[in-house]
């Protein structure tokens, strides 16, 4: 593919709710623009953008993929992002790199949670938006209902530019409100101009078309004073004025065009390609990226090919054959192969090796990428969120914000000896997925893999197996219970053994009492040398080993103070080992007498839920033995923040429950805060489940 000026590049993220037709739309655009010779289908597993084994098996997008095509002298980069909430990081990556977000909305199911999430993410990133109503070939599709939903949900900025003409519940043609022309489509998706609709074609359709034209003109009038005066005087806009007005309105975020297509019949796809060329912004229009200079001062980086090079790594792929592939958006200057750049995030100097354009899995090697373009670098030592730049001007771009991992599972190898392979393979996954976490639980010592949901972790395991040959098993993480005591006791621990020659003798009296400490508090108050001082460390060491496993179910003992008050020794048979054993005998004798009890971890929970779900979530938290502390209206419209204290043992599946209860709109954070006494009715069950012989 030839080099393009930044004014001739369009970067589009295709986002929306799962199943709204994103990948099918990308496939239709590639086919209609001549990149592919056949129209792939998601169900057949032969699309350009969903090409990994996991995506073919699941029949949905799991990763953000890059494709591109050339039309009207413009290079269009399409970033096909996942719609499932488990893969939300992919949407965040795609929208961060895009210059515009094309949000797909099913003509059958309408506006969904994923539609709002994509729109909100685009607004947060300051990206122009465009709605594409898909699946109009479905018998149950209803464009007018969807358009009403869009206007209700997203306000007066919603502006239709292509609408279907419907008669007898069937689409007879499509009207381009900018050109003021109507088109019919044959069985091959080829457009043929036809007459504009009249009342005979569809009852009241002429009124509707007039109303839509008025709405488009009014939206365009808001973008410029001269246009507003022209509109106010009742004069019609020219086609160029409409195009320029919508283009400007998109850049300013005050116009969100709506078009419609059928990706299977290809109806409307050619008009969408026209809108991409005419309406959507190029990087040279509005691509000004905030950054920090070498001194940490804020600067703005403009899309200027003559400026020093700066680029941002927005995605990483750990390919077992090619190696690390870094997806890079160039923000200024020109990124060239065989040049040295500075990684502003780490301070290291890196050499740019092989650069590629991607179209799905097809790779085309290039020697450079101009500002505004998206390119893939192979085998560079850079990671997602890194900024690479010319040493002449070191700048650093903000990192992509992604949801924190909220679904935890314990990981262990299926086969012995694979532990080291697991760590290195998961480290590769962590490089490419910002919403995965892999840490060791400091209390249970289990390795915990965290993500955004069941499907997310299942996909990670599938990649481990297919790409790295590592198989693991997941299990619900153990709960880090602890043990403590409620009363003070004084006990003797005596160890005496004679087996010929030197024997073993150690005798201690120890007082055990509750205290406020996570560690064992050891003191000695021995009088008259009953126990020599040189044996005190052995007594403490024996107790330190004992508190690692309590007497109830083998959990660590906390809140324990041990005071050595008396004892006896033998001048020949006493030893450090004998006193260490004596201390452990005292522990095992004394703790059961001190009314031991189990403690469970309690977490601080903050849940963000739609207003209508607050009652449901409070009921759910009550079932989980939670205690609601308060409710506050959120900054986000229609959401309430519920604060609560909940036992960590009850929260293993809360991610999935919340998602089902709120249709994916809810989110939460949970942090461990303290330990409380485990209710008596649960003690026997916990002991039976965790008792260590």
Nearest by Cα to 260 from 250, 270, 251, 252? 270
- Domain shared by 273 and 368, yes or no: no
- Domain shared by 441 and 490, yes or no: no
Confidence of residue 202 (pLDDT cuts 50, 70, 90): very low
Looking at the domain assignment, is residue 233 inside a domain?
no
- Domain shared by 443 and 494, yes or no: no
pLDDT of residue 393 exceeding 60, the answer is yes
66 strand-pairing partners: 79
Q: What average pLDDT does this structure show over 568-597?
A: 92
Looking at the domain assignment, is residue 63 inside a domain?
yes
401/106 Cα distance (integer angstroms): 27
Average pLDDT, the chain: 90
Q: Burial-class residue 166 by CB neighbours within 10 Å (0-12, 13-18, 19+).
A: buried
- Domain shared by 59 and 34, yes or no: yes
With helix as H, strand as E and coil as C, how does 280-335 read?
CCCHHHHCEEEEEECCCCEEEEECCCCCCCEEEEEEEEEECCCEEEEEEEEEECEE
Within 10 A of 319 (CB to CB), how many other CB atoms are there?
15
Confidence of residue 112 (pLDDT cuts 50, 70, 90): very high
Picking from 63-67, 230-234, 381-385, 394-398, which range would have the lowest pLDDT averaged per residue? Answer: 230-234
Nearest by Cα to 590 from 598, 582, 600? 582
Q: Where are the extended beta strands (E) located within 333-415?
A: 334-336, 340-343, 349-351, 355-359, 362-366, 368-370, 374-378, 387-389, 395-397, 407-413
- Look at the chain and report how many structural domains it folds into: 5
Residue with tokens 């201690």: 508
- Segment of 195-209, 256-270, 308-322, 406-420 carrying the highest mean pLDDT: 256-270
Q: Which domain holds residue 362?
A: 287-397
Looking at the domain assignment, is residue 179 inside a domain?
yes
Task: Name every residue whose Cβ is closer than 8 Å to that of residue 74 and which is 6 or more positions away in sequence.
Answer: 4, 8, 9, 10, 276, 277, 282
- Domain shared by 422 and 325, yes or no: no
- Domain shared by 490 and 357, yes or no: no
Please give the model's pTM, rounded to 2 decimal places: 0.88
475: left (phi over 0), alpha (psi -120 to 50) or beta: beta
Q: What is the pLDDT of residues 518-554, one digit of tens each?
A: 899 999 998 878 889 999 999 999 999 999 999 999 9
- Domain shared by 182 and 156, yes or no: yes
469: left (phi over 0), alpha (psi -120 to 50) or beta: left
Residue 450: the pLDDT is: 95
Nearest by Cα to 588 from 529, 623, 542, 655? 542
Boundary-marking domain end, from 571, 594, 617: 594
Residue 216: the pLDDT is: 87
Q: What percent of the chain has pLDDT over 90?
A: 69
**CATH code of 524's domain:** 3.30.230.10
Looking at the domain assignment, is residue 235 inside a domain?
no
- Domain shared by 469 and 503, yes or no: no
Residue 692: the pLDDT is: 56
Boundary-marking domain end, from 539, 565, 594: 594
- Domain shared by 582 and 616, yes or no: no
Q: What is the pLDDT of residues 348-389, one digit of tens each?
A: 999 998 999 999 989 999 999 999 999 999 989 999 999 999
Can you give the length of the chain in residues?
693
pLDDT of residue 618 exceeding 50, the answer is yes
327/90 Cα distance (integer angstroms): 12
Looking at the domain assignment, is residue 469 inside a domain?
yes
420/558 Cα distance (integer angstroms): 33
**CATH code of 385's domain:** 2.40.30.10
**Phi, psi angle pair for 136, to nearest 5°:** -70, -10
Per-residue burial over 228-258, b = 16 or more CB atoms within 10 Å of its CB, e = otherwise = eebbeeeeebeeebbbbbbbbbbbeeebbbb
Q: What percent of the chain has pLDDT over 70?
A: 97
Strands, sheet with 288-293, edge to edge from the N-terminal-most edge strand: 298-302, 288-293, 395-397
Residue 614: the pLDDT is: 94
Strands, sheet with 181-185, edge to edge from the N-terminal-most edge strand: 162-167, 170-176, 181-185, 191-194
- Domain shared by 460 and 362, yes or no: no
Residue 693: the pLDDT is: 44
pLDDT of residue 206 exceeding 70, the answer is no
- Domain shared by 259 and 305, yes or no: no
Q: Burial-class residue 536 by CB neighbours within 10 Å (0-12, 13-18, 19+).
A: middle
Residue 444: the pLDDT is: 87
132: left (phi over 0), alpha (psi -120 to 50) or beta: beta
The two structure tokens encoding residue 501? 């020659």
- Say whether 254 sits in a helix, a strand or coil: coil
Task: Name every residue whose Cβ is closer than 8 Å to that of residue 39 and which is 6 or more positions away in sequence.
Answer: 27, 28, 31, 264, 266
Looking at the domain assignment, is residue 171 inside a domain?
yes
Residue 391: the pLDDT is: 93
8 A C-beta contact, residue 606 and residue 641: yes
**CATH code of 633's domain:** 3.30.70.240
Looking at the domain assignment, is residue 266 inside a domain?
yes
Q: What average pLDDT does this structure show over 597-601?
A: 95
Boundary-marking domain end, from 547, 564, 594: 594
Report which DSSP code applies to 216: H
**CATH code of 198's domain:** 3.40.50.300
Looking at the domain assignment, is residue 223 inside a domain?
no
- Domain shared by 43 and 166, yes or no: yes
92/127 Cα distance (integer angstroms): 12
**CATH code of 416's domain:** 3.30.70.870
8 A C-beta contact, residue 317 and residue 304: no
Helix axes 22-32, 269-278, angle to 10 degrees: 80
Q: What is the DSSP string of 588-643?
A: HHHGGGG-EEEEEEEEEEEEEEEGGGHHHHHHHHHHTT-EEEEEEE-SSTTEEEEE
* Strand-strand pairing, 340-343 and 387-389: antiparallel
- Segment of 165-179, 449-463, 464-478 carrying the highest mean pLDDT: 449-463
Q: Burial-class residue 691 by CB neighbours within 10 Å (0-12, 13-18, 19+).
A: exposed
């Amino acid at each position: 593919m030839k080099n393009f000026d930044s004014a001739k590049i369009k970067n589009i993220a295709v986002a929306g709710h799962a199943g709204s037709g994103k990948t099918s739309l990308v496939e239709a655009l590639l086919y209609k623009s001549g990149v592919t010779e056949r129209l792939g289908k998601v169900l057949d597993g032969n699309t350009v953008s969903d090409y990994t084994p996991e995506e073919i098996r699941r029949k949905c997008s799991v990763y953000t993929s890059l494709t591109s095509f050339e039309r009207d002298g413009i290079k269009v980069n399409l970033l096909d992002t996942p719609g499932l909430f488990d893969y939300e990081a992919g949407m965040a990556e795609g929208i961060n790199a895009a210059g515009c977000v094309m949000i797909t909305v099913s003509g059958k199911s309408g506006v969904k949670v994923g539609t709002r999430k994509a729109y909100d993410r685009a607004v947060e990133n300051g990206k122009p938006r465009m709605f594409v109503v898909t699946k109009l070939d479905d018998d149950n599709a209803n464009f007018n209902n969807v358009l009403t939903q869009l206007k209700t949900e997203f306000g007066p900025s919603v502006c239709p530019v292509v609408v279907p003409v419907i008669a007898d519940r069937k689409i007879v043609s499509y009207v381009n409100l900018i050109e003021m022309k109507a088109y019919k489509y044959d069985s091959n998706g080829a457009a043929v101009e036809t007459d504009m609709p009249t009342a005979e074609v569809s009852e009241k359709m002429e009124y509707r078309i007039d109303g839509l034209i008025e709405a488009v003109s009014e939206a365009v009038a808001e973008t410029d004073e001269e246009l507003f005066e022209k509109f106010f005087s009742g004069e019609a806009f020219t086609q160029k004025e409409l195009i320029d007005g919508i283009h400007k309105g998109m850049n300013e975020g005050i116009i969100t065009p709506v078009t419609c297509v059928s990706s299977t019949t290809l109806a409307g796809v050619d008009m969408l390609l026209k809108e991409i060329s005419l309406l959507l912004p190029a990087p040279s229009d509005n691509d000004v990226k905030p950054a920090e200079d070498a001194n940490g001062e804020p600067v703005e980086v403009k899309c200027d090919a003559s400026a020093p090079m700066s680029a941002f790594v927005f995605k990483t792929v750990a390919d077992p054959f090619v190696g690390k592939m870094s997806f890079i958006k160039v923000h200024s200057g020109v990124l060239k192969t065989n040049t040295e750049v500075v990684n502003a995030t780490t301070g290291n100097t890196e050499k740019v090796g092989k650069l590629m354009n991607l179209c799905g899995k097809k790779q085309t090697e290039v020697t450079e990428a101009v500002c505004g373009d998206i390119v893939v670098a192979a085998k560079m030592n850079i990671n997602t969120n890194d900024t690479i730049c010319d040493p002449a001007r070191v700048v650093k771009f903000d990192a992509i914000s992604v949801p924190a991992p909220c679904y935890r599972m314990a990981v262990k190898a299926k086969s012995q000896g694979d532990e080291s392979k697991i760590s290195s393979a998961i480290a590769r996954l962590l490089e490419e997925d910002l919403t995965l976490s892999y840490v060791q639980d400091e209390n249970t010592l289990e390795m915990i893999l965290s993500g955004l949901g069941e499907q997310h972790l299942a996909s990670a395991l599938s990649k481990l197996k297919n790409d790295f040959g590592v198989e693991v098993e997941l299990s619900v993480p153990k709960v880090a219970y602890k043990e403590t005591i409620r009363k003070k006791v004084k006990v003797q621990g005596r160890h005496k053994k004679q087996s010929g020659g030197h024997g073993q003798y150690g005798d201690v009296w120890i007082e055990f009492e509750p205290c406020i400490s996570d560690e064992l508090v050891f003191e000695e108050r021995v009088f008259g040398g009953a126990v020599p001082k040189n044996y005190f460390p052995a007594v403490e060491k024996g107790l330190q080993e004992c508190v690692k496993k309590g007497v109830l179910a083998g959990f660590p003992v906390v809140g324990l103070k041990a005071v050595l008050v008396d004892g006896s020794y033998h001048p020949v048979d006493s030893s450090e080992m004998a006193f260490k054993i004596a201390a452990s005998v005292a522990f095992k004798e004394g703790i059961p007498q001190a009314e031991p009890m189990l403690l469970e971890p309690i977490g601080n929970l903050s849940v963000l839920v739609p207003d209508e779900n607050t009652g449901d979530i409070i009921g759910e938290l009550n079932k989980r033995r939670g205690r609601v502390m308060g409710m506050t209206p959120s900054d986000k419209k229609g959401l309430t923040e519920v604060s609560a204290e909940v036992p960590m043992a009850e929260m293993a599946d809360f991610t999935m429950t919340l998602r089902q209860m709120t249709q994916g709109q809810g989110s939460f954070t949970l942090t461990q805060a303290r330990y409380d006494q485990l209710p008596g009715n649960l003690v026997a069950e916990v002991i039976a489940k965790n008792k260590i012989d």
